[in-house]
């Protein structure tokens, strides 16, 4: 949710550059680690206390961790509030809203009004939803004499929701959607596995300097902040080409991990 809500909203403002917009937002999330890894480490463990032989820190460090986590939640609330206050409907959304306002302003309809939907309109919709849409539309046309413009709009909106839900369900169950979902599910595993490994590597090599590890994490987060480069490339080149380059780099990384372990 933290990713997709701002991404979808910004697409309404910049529909011709979805890759660049998505990359900047994702890079903003990734850049947070560059700053906050060191900030939180300094708050939680200001004296650079080493982890004990039992693998745990002292009670003082653990207590500050809980305090810091609460502070993080408060910071997120403030940042979210500022972001929400700066959110405005995009041009595409505004155009749709204007069209609805114009429709709502129409005078009450009668059964002879030429602007009423004609029977058979359901044929323009999907095969799965056409029967349900046709039945509702016919019932509506047979009882439209006393309908006001507001009631008409409510009925048409309800039928539109039915059609949209059917369309979205077909999209989720379609082969292209499933293929893309599976591709991304497997490709992101490598990233998460690598990100979580730098401290495990330190433990295995008896590196107990928390400040040093925080700097390592911050340096790695820099690469998260430049993810917009990949997204920008998809706006100008083939998606298959860019995705193929990324997968190739991941494969090389996975095979060279054994070389790091041997060292």
Q: Tell me: the pLDDT tens digits for 25-39?
A: 777 777 777 777 777
C-alpha closest to that of 250 among 160, 183, 190, 182: 190
Identify the residue with better confidence: 70 or 83. Answer: 70
> Are 242 and 45 contacting, i.e. CB atoms less than 8 angstroms apart?
no
Tokens (6 digits) for 88: 């405005």
Q: Note the pLDDT of residue 109.
A: 41
Please state, in angstroms and rounded to a whole number, the distance separating the CA atoms of residues 95 and 87. Answer: 17
Tokens (6 digits) for 174: 């379609």
pLDDT band at 151 (very low <50, low <70, confident <90, very high): low
Identify the residue with better confidence: 15 or 261. Answer: 15
Tokens (6 digits) for 98: 């204007």
C-alpha closest to that of 184 among 235, 248, 253, 247: 247
Encode pLDDT of 156-177 as tens digits.
666 665 666 667 777 778 888 8
How many CB atoms within 10 Å of residue 247? Answer: 14
Q: Give the helix ranges, DSSP H, for 196-238.
A: 198-204, 210-225, 228-236
Mean pLDDT rounded to a whole number for the chain: 69
Residues 6+ apart with CB under 8 A from 92: 12, 15
Predicted TM-score (pTM) of the model is: 0.47
* Per-residue pLDDT at 139 exceeds 80: no
> Are 103 and 26 contacting, i.e. CB atoms less than 8 angstroms apart?
no
Encode pLDDT of 188-236 as tens digits.
777 777 766 666 666 666 666 667 777 777 777 777 767 778 877 887 8
DSSP state of 124: G
Q: What percent of the chain has pLDDT over 90?
A: 0
Q: Rounded mean pLDDT of 9-20? A: 78
Domain ranges of the chain: 4-90+196-262, 106-172
């Amino acid at each position: 949710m933290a990713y997709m809500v701002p991404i979808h909203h910004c697409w309404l403002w910049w529909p011709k550059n979805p890759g660049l917009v998505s990359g900047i937002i994702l890079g903003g999330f990734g850049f947070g680690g560059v700053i906050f890894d060191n900030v939180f480490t300094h708050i939680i463990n200001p004296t650079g206390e080493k982890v004990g032989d039992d693998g745990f820190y002292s009670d003082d460090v653990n207590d500050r961790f809980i305090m810091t986590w609460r502070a993080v939640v408060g910071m997120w609330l403030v940042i979210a509030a500022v972001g929400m206050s700066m959110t405005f409907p995009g041009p595409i959304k505004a155009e749709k809203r204007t069209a609805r306002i114009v429709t709502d302003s129409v005078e009450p309809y009668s059964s002879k009004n030429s602007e009423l939907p004609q029977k058979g309109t359901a044929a323009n919709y999907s095969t799965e939803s056409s029967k349900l849409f046709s039945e509702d539309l016919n019932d509506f046309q047979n009882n439209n004499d006393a309908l006001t413009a507001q009631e008409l709009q409510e009925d048409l909106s309800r039928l539109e929701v039915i059609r949209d839900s059917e369309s979205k369900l077909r999209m989720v169950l379609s082969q292209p959607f499933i293929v893309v979902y599976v591709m991304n599910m497997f490709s992101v595993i490598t990233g998460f596995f690598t990100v979580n490994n730098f401290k495990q590597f330190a433990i295995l090599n008896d590196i107990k300097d928390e400040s040093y590890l925080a700097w390592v994490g911050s340096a790695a987060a820099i690469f998260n902040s430049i993810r917009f480069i990949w997204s920008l490339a998809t706006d100008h080149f083939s998606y298959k080409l860019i995705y193929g380059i990324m997968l190739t780099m991941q494969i090389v990384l996975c095979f060279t991990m054994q070389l790091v372990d041997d060292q």
